[in-house]
Amino acid sequence: MAFQPIWDARLGEVYAYEALARGPNGEMAAEVLAQVRPETRYSFDQQCRVAAITQAVQAGILKTSARLAINFFPDVITDAFADSERTMQVAKETGFPPERLMFEFAEHDRIDASRMADTIAAHRKMHMQTVFDDFGSGDVGLALLSRFTPDAIKLDPALIRGLASSWSRRLLVEKMIEMTRRRAVRLIAEGVETRADYEKLLALGVRYFQGYFIAHPRVGVLENPRLRPAA
C-alpha cells in the first residue's frame, strides 16, 4: 500500500491518509485492479482492507490523529454488517480506532440503492465513515446525494485539474461547495496538482485537499506536508 495525505488547510495538518494499492514492481492502482478477475474481486477487496489497516499502523498512523481512507468494491458486498464486522476485527487486532476509518465508494454506479443504504447504515452503526469518491457534476452523483448523506464527498479530479483557468468549472465547484455545506457533508478536492488550483480552491472555501501539490503517495510511509494553515 502507498499512502497519500488529505490535507486540512484550516488546521494545517493531515486529516486522513488514503491507502492506494500498488503492485510488486510499483504498478499503479489501475494496473493492479485491471488484473483482478470477477471471481476474485471479493477476496481482493477483503485483502486490501486488511493490508491498508495493518500497513498504516506499521507506518505509524496511531502516532497521529489522522483517519485512514480505504477504497472498496461496493458491488461485491453480500452482507454489509458481516463485512464491516470483519473490518472491525482487523481494527481491533491492530489497535486502530474504527471511528478513524473512512470507506470510499468506488464505482458507485455499480451498486443498487438498497445495498448502498445497507452499507452506509452498517458503517454508521460501527462508527466508520462513508465517502463518495470521484463525485462529479453528472446525474449519477447528484442523484446519490439527493438520496443519501455520506460523511464526505471527493470531487472528481477532472473537475479540479486546471480549475484556476476554467470559469465554468469554478461555477460547478461553487455550487457543490454550497450544496455540501447545507447538507453538513465534508468536501475534499482531489487532484490538486498546482499552487494556482490550490489557492483558487482555498478562495472558494474548500478546506480539504488531496493531490500531487500536497504530496505524492509513498509506499509504507506517511508523508507529512509542510503547508501553512490557511489564513
pLDDT for the residue numbered 205: 94
Share of the chain above pLDDT 90, in %: 57
Q: Please report which confidence band the pLDDT of residue 140 belongs to, taking 50, 70 and 90 as the band edges.
A: low
Stretch among 70-74, 100-104, 135-139 having the lowest mean pLDDT: 135-139
Q: Please report which confidence band the pLDDT of residue 137 belongs to, taking 50, 70 and 90 as the band edges.
A: low
- Per-residue pLDDT at 46 exceeds 60: yes
Look at residue 169 and give its three-state secondary structure.
Answer: helix
pLDDT for the residue numbered 139: 55
Which of 226, 222, 206 has its CA nearest to residue 69?
Answer: 222
Give me the mean pLDDT over the 183-211 stretch: 95
Give me the mean pLDDT over the 139-164 stretch: 84
The per-residue pLDDT for range 97-126, each reduced to its tens digit, is: 999 999 998 755 556 777 788 888 888 888
Contact between 137 and 166 under an 8 Å Cβ cutoff? The reply is no
Look at residue 17 and give its three-state secondary structure.
Answer: strand
pLDDT for the residue numbered 135: 84
Q: CA 143, CA 108: separation in Å to the nearest integer?
A: 11
- Per-residue pLDDT at 141 exceeds 70: no
pLDDT for the residue numbered 116: 81
Q: Please report which confidence band the pLDDT of residue 26 belongs to, taking 50, 70 and 90 as the band edges.
A: confident
Domains of the chain listed by start with CATH number: 2-219 (3.20.20.450)
Report helix, strand and coil shares of the chain as percent, to nearest 5. 50, 20, 30
